[in-house]
Amino acid sequence: MAEQAGDPLFHSHDPIFNRKELLHVGHVPDEDRIVGRDDEIESVAAEVGAITRGDPPNNVMIYGKTGTGKSLISRHVATRAQNAARGNDIDCGVLYVDCSEANTETRTTRQLALSLKDQTGYQEGIPVRGVGTMEYYQHIWQILEECFDAIIVILDEIDKLDNSNILMQLSRAREAQKTDAYIGVIGISNKVKYRETLDERIDSSFGHRELFFHPYDASQLREIMRNREDAFQPDVLEGGTIELCAALAAKKHGDARKAIEILKEAGELARRTGSETVSESHIQQAQEVAEINRIEELTSGATVHAKLALYALASRIITGDRETHKTREIYERYVSICDLVATDPITENGLYRQLKEQAFLGVIESEKTGGGRSQGSYLLHRLVTDPKHIIKAVRRDSSLEDLPTYDRLGDSASATAERDAELSSFS
């Protein structure tokens, strides 16, 4: 890769990175760096592709877990369709709305109207506030009428929209003689459950296909990262690093975004520690940091008690010899820990509800077990991640930073174990 133009002060002396921007979170890779999604690209193209021939497209909903390429592939196919249409003298626009930000019909239609205005020479002013959805629709229909034969509308994170009326409006626009332009909608969601709510809320007018994007496997992740190897200086990535990063990410989540983040973090770690190369051990450490961040993110909305419950479970696993623990056992440890941070404990039943919520977030797994004839059944909880990561993530909460660190847990364990025993003797 040729040296980038620009101020040498900022470009020339990074010993680790060559084109670090290739690893940035918001970076949208070029077409030739998209790999491992050929089938999905073809499937999306098959749904919207009729537009390029001047025919009506299908609407499509794309489902899949985070980091599986849904947004990327949708934009990629839409842009290619636009270019192909242009080749056939068809004016096709592409509109993209992130519904996690534009989460009401008014916000979404406003954004659609404004970006249509941006893309055309539309003269009329579009007010940004003080007007309702209907006025934005009117601008949309008018611009479509004046400037486009067809349009592809990508509604990303569509489950965040407070209602799905827009799907109806867009799919009925021709029928209702609002515009002659063909409209193809690509809806994207990482909540498969959204399907159920969608079916209830919209009628057959949004007749649509459904596509499912699966998590990436190790070989696809390897390809994705290899295609960005030039983010690093030549020979900086040691042999086996990309393979390891791909294997770890595939095992945990199959999320391309996270895999790339780990690779970048490993590079930063190497640079910070003055290493000339990025090694497997950098990848391991970066993966840990990423996992702690992920847990912190997952639990960011949780109460202090939920965090203490997670800490209690993690601490029992570390200081004990079992992976799974009963609600009662976690509760006992939790009560001792509340003492350490001068917090009043909630009831056991309250804690049980907190644990259930954590199970929902995917931090723990709970399983019902028969305790033998006389004992009835009870729940056993386990962590889905390394307890060390939980300890670190919980301690990042500034009100909980006084809790013992992972390596000091052994010292305090004997004290808390005594306390647990004391509590048990009361029950």
Ligand X SMILES: Nc1ncnc2c1ncn2[C@@H]1O[C@H](COP(=O)(O)OP(=O)(O)OP(=O)(O)O)[C@@H](O)[C@H]1O
Q: Residues in the site for ligand X, rule: CB under 6 A?
A: 27-29, 33-37, 64, 66-72, 190, 224, 256-257, 260
Residue 41 or 400: the one with the smaller Cβ distance to ligand X is: 41
For residue 43, give both structure tokens. Answer: 């499937």
Q: E strands of 202-294, at which residues?
A: 208-213
Residue 23 or 62: the one with the smaller Cβ distance to Mg ion is: 62
Q: Which residue is nearest to Mg ion (CB)?
A: 71
Q: Kindly report the number of other CB atoms within 10 A of residue 392's CB atom.
A: 20
Residue 191 or 382: the one with the smaller Cβ distance to ligand X is: 191
Measure the N-to-C terminal CA separation of the chain; round to a whole number of Å.
70
Considering only residues 55 to 114 of the shown chain, the ones binding Mg ion according to CB under 5 A are 71
Residue type, 179: T
Residue 5 phi, psi dihedral angles, 5° rounding: -70, 155
Residue 66 or 197: the one with the smaller Cβ distance to ligand X is: 66
Cβ(57)–Cβ(50) under 8 Å? yes
Nearest to 400 by CA among 344, 358, 340, 353: 340
Cβ(85)–Cβ(51) under 8 Å? yes
Angle, nearest 10°, between helix axes 105-119 and 165-172?
40
DSSP string, 7-35: -HHHHS--SSBSSGGGG-TT----GGG--
Number of amino acids touching Mg ion (CB under 5 A) = 1
Residue 32 or 411: the one with the smaller Cβ distance to ligand X is: 32
Smallest distance, Mg ion to C-beta of residue 259, A: 15
Query: What, of Mg ion, ligand X, none, does residue 190 touch, CB below 5 to 8 Å by kind?
Result: ligand X
> Residues near 398 by Cβ (< 8 Å), separated by ≥ 6?
none
Residue 75 or 107: the one with the smaller Cβ distance to Mg ion is: 75
Smallest distance, ligand X to C-beta of residue 27, A: 6
DSSP string, 34-91: --S-HHHHHHHHHHHGGGGGTSPPPEEEEEE-TTSSHHHHHHHHHHHHHHHHHHTT--
Smallest distance, ligand X to C-beta of residue 95, A: 17
Residue 32 phi, psi dihedral angles, 5° rounding: -75, 0
Residue 71 or 164: the one with the smaller Cβ distance to Mg ion is: 71
Query: What, of ligand X, Mg ion, none, does residue 267 touch, CB below 5 to 8 Å by kind?
Result: none
Query: What, of Mg ion, ligand X, none, does residue 140 touch, CB below 5 to 8 Å by kind?
Result: none
Cβ(368)–Cβ(343) under 8 Å? no
Residue 76 or 395: the one with the smaller Cβ distance to Mg ion is: 76
Smallest distance, ligand X to C-beta of residue 313, A: 28
Considering only residues 280 to 319 of the shown chain, the ones binding Mg ion according to CB under 5 A are none
Smallest distance, ligand X to C-beta of residue 332, A: 38
Query: What, of Mg ion, ligand X, none, does residue 221 touch, CB below 5 to 8 Å by kind?
Result: none
Smallest distance, Mg ion to C-beta of residue 73, A: 10
Residue corresponding to tokens 């993966």:
287
Query: What, of ligand X, Mg ion, none, does residue 36 touch, CB below 5 to 8 Å by kind?
Result: ligand X
Smallest distance, ligand X to C-beta of residue 35, A: 5
Query: What, of Mg ion, ligand X, none, does residue 163 touch, CB below 5 to 8 Å by kind?
Result: none
Smallest distance, Mg ion to C-beta of residue 324, A: 35
Q: E strands of 261-394, at which residues?
A: 325-326, 364-370, 377-383
Nearest to 161 by CA among 199, 121, 104: 104
Where along the sequence are the contacts to Mg ion (CB under 5 A)? 71
